[in-house]
């Protein structure tokens, strides 16, 4: 009996001592470090138009002599300037042994050349497979096999207080590992307000040091599994000050899958606008308004329902409060966004919501931003059947144009169906000036992900006649 008690006490002592030891993160670092790459981006010099104020405008004004002096139009002038060649750097994570690498959209946006440097110092050229500004993720690829792919874990299993490593290339220091804990989950930081566009936000917050250059790198758990893509830091100084943010793998995996298959993200939406119930209550109290009794202080308050969205079709209304999706409790908007990121348009979900303090449950078929359930393929010059080039300086002078893209060839496709011909000069699409093929691809991508999916094209013939064309990027499907 004494022997058994002695053994028991010894085991307890060993276990207690082990529990008091610092967490060993060396295995996690060894497993994940070789899967994180250094990304160098080159952006070539570009021509752009700048508007400036003529210092003599106030003196001459818009008099009958203004055109003679070239000082009309209220004193505003435009001139062409050339932006210098730029280089930037970030990080990426190898997802497959055949060369697919995930990084941040802001790392490779507008890149003319992408160079990837491995942990073993090998270097390869990479190409963009697809980008997604809303989630700030991008998928690139190098043409190599046998690369050290990381094991992807589940960010949904993370717990606040759990140890993690941030691996990347901060401040020009390649292959750097920092450690910290999960500080919070499902954080929003208002990135959409900064970019002026749609933003999918449900960040993992960590106090592992994340600095410039860490963007696109790996956030891994103690087993070396990828649980997030390091995205940004929030700091008064622009450098690490206690916390950073990573995109969870629950969002990343769906984005990567869609970019690989379609070239664009098939984003499922409910078709609502809203905010956390607690935030809405705080807002009403700050405005000294009456606070309704919602029957809950946890959930997503619906402030507006899109007319042709999934929520409207299911009968949801402004003032309803969503409390769960497929049995997963939802306490704030970021959690709802993260849950929906795992679904595709056409998927059905069981939604629980409250109205007038009563609980209801409905099955809803999710739709895309266009209000349909069909897949939205990526669209660019190639898929539209057109090849373009910018006007040369001599062509601009001859045609009295300051910008434009010449159609140099056409093949069967939507542009040819709309009536475009070889030699016509595209000047604007949806009121955006076309100065480069990048401008064309950007406005087409934006229109493709909009509600109506239409290109309104303004053009000129070589003889100077004005032309206009309408190109529908997709046909409306029956709902």
- Provide the annotated active-site residues: 106, 136, 215
At which residue do the structure tokens 């691996």 appear? 167
Q: Are strands 386-390 and 405-410 parallel, antiparallel or unpaired?
A: antiparallel
Q: Output the DSSP codes for 285-342.
A: HHTT-PPP--S-SSSEEEEEE-TTSHHHHTT--TT-EEEEETTEE--SHHHHHHHHTT
Q: Which of 101, 104, 126, 103 is closest to 116 using CA atoms?
A: 126
Give the CA-trace dihedral at 43, 40, 91, 201, to 10 degrees.
Answer: 0
Q: Which residue has the tokens 């809950």?
A: 296
Closest CA to 135 of 102, 100, 182, 169: 102
Dihedrals phi, psi of 10, to nearest 5 degrees: -65, -45
Partnered with residue 93 across adjacent β-strands are 36, 102
Q: Which residues, including other chains, have CB under 8 Å from residue 375's CB and lie 6 or more apart?
A: 262, 266, 345
Quick one: which of 280, 311, 274 has its CA closest to 293?
280
Helix (H) or strand (E) holding 10: helix 2-20
How far apart, in whole angstroms, are the C-alpha atoms of residue 433 and residue 425?
12
- The answer to whether residues 380 and 444 touch, using CB atoms and an 8 Å cutoff, is yes
Instruction: Output the CA torsion sign for 175, 96, 134, 273.
Output: negative
- Between CA 114 and CA 128 the distance in angstroms is 8
């Amino acid at each position: 009996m004494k022997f058994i008690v002695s053994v028991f006490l010894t085991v307890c002592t060993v276990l207690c001592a082990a529990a008091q030891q610092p967490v060993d993160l060396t295995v996690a670092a060894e497993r994940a470090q070789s899967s994180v790459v250094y990304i160098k981006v080159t952006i070539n010099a570009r021509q752009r138009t700048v508007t400036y104020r003529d210092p003599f405008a106030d003196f001459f004004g818009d008099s009958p002599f203004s055109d003679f002096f070239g000082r009309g139009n209220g004193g505003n002038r435009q001139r062409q300037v050339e932006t210098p060649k730029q280089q930037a750097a970030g990080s990426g994570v190898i997802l497959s042994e055949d060369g697919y690498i995930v990084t941040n959209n802001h790392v490779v946006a507008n890149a003319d050349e992408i160079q990837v440097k491995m942990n073993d110092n090998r270097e390869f050229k990479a190409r963009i497979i697809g980008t997604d500004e809303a989630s700030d993720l991008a998928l690139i690829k190098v043409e190599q096999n046998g690369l050290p792919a990381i094991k992807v874990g589940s960010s949904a299993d993370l717990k606040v207080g759990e140890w993690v490593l941030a691996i990347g290339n901060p401040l020009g220091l390649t292959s750097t590992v920092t450690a910290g804990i999960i500080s919070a989950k499902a954080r929003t930081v208002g990135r959409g307000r900064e970019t002026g566009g749609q933003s999918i936000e449900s960040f993992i917050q960590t106090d592992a040091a994340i600095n410039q250059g860490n963007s696109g790198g790996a956030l891994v758990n103690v087993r070396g599994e990828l649980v997030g893509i390091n995205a940004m830091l929030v700091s008064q100084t622009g450098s690490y000050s206690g916390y950073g943010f990573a995109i969870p793998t629950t969002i990343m995996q769906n984005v990567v899958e869609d970019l690989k298959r379609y070239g664009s993200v098939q984003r499922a939406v409910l078709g609502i606008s809203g905010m956390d119930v607690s935030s809405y209550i705080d807002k009403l109290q700050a405005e000294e308004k009456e606070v309704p009794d919602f029957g809950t202080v946890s959930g997503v308050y619906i402030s507006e329902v899109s007319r042709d969205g999934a929520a409207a079709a299911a009968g949801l209304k402004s003032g309803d409060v969503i409390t769960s999706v497929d049995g997963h409790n939802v306490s704030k908007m970021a959690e709802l966004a993260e849950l929906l990121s795992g679904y595709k348009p056409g998927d059905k979900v069981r939604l629980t919501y409250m109205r007038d303090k009563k609980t209801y449950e409905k099955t809803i078929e999710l739709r895309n931003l266009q209000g349909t359930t069909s897949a939205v393929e990526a669209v660019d010059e190639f898929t539209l059947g057109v090849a373009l080039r910018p006007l040369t300086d001599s062509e601009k002078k001859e045609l009295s144009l300051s910008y434009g893209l010449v159609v140099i060839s056409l093949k069967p496709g939507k542009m040819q169906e709309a009536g475009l011909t070889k030699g016509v000069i595209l000047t604007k699409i949806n009121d955006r000036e076309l100065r480069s093929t990048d401008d064309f691809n950007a406005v087409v991508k934006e229109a493709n992900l909009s509600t109506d999916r239409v290109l309104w094209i303004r053009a000129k013939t070589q003889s100077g006649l004005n032309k206009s064309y309408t190109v529908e990027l997709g046909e409306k499907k029956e709902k």
